[in-house]
Amino acid sequence: MSEQINPPGMILLYTGIGILLALGIGLLAGLLNGFLISKLRITPILATLGTGQIFTGLAVVLTGGPAITGFPDGWNFIGNGKVLGLATPFVLFVIVAGAVAILLTRTTFGVNLMLIGTNPRAAIFAGLRKDRMILYSYMLTGMMAAIAGIILSGRTNAAKSDYGASYLLQAVLIAVLGGTNPAGGKGRVLGVSIALIALMLLSSGFQILRFSNHLIDFIWGGFLLIVIALNAFRNTDR
């Protein structure tokens, strides 16, 4: 009876529309961040933290607060399905990581973006349009954040305004641990991927040992400070 009301073709259509809407919203959110940073010269961390609070507030208002559940099977497949025996989230991760690696190393946009991060002043003298590159980069990261949200909601078969808040510290830690320079200009997708896998295994170990979430956050924060301090010490020696 349910298949007659919602045939597989319609479920696939609704899932596709939902994915496009999520990616579009992520693109617009990144566009807003890029505009604030590149045009209004707002400090990036302040701009993103501010807009993050705005987006969370809008989500709370639109949803009323509680989690939204009951997604169709097509959406659930994104987080819990398998493709050729491999988990769908892992397949999507490999595809996105590969695409970003090619973008950063094999395209003019990626090379210019790395140059701007390495030395913004020299990049301007070289004729690169810094503001446009920054705008494009934040639009790209907005879409990637949307992809992460899609996978997370598919994994839990639910969506809530503050689901991503608990992953903020881990995301920063993974980037820094993977060799990414917080000031820009240095970083490899392979290094970030290895750091991600390492922290996933470590997090699984914490769960097996029944560490509390507060203790885990404390460990992540301390680990992040240690890694940043070691990187700063290494750069000073050079």
Q: Which residues pair with 68 in a beta bridge?
A: 159
Mean pLDDT of 79-103: 89
d(CA 75, CA 11): 9
Q: φ and ψ at 236, to 5 degrees?
A: -70, -40
The DSSP letter of residue 186 is -
pLDDT at 236: 64
pLDDT over threshold 90, residue 142: yes
Mean pLDDT of 145-164: 86
What percent of the chain is modeled with pLDDT above 90?
Answer: 19
Residue 19: C-alpha distances to residues 90, 94, 98, 144, 153 (Å): 18, 18, 20, 12, 11
The DSSP letter of residue 67 is P
What global pTM score does this model have?
0.82
pLDDT digit string, tens, across residues 193-236: 888 888 888 888 888 888 887 788 888 888 888 877 777 776 66
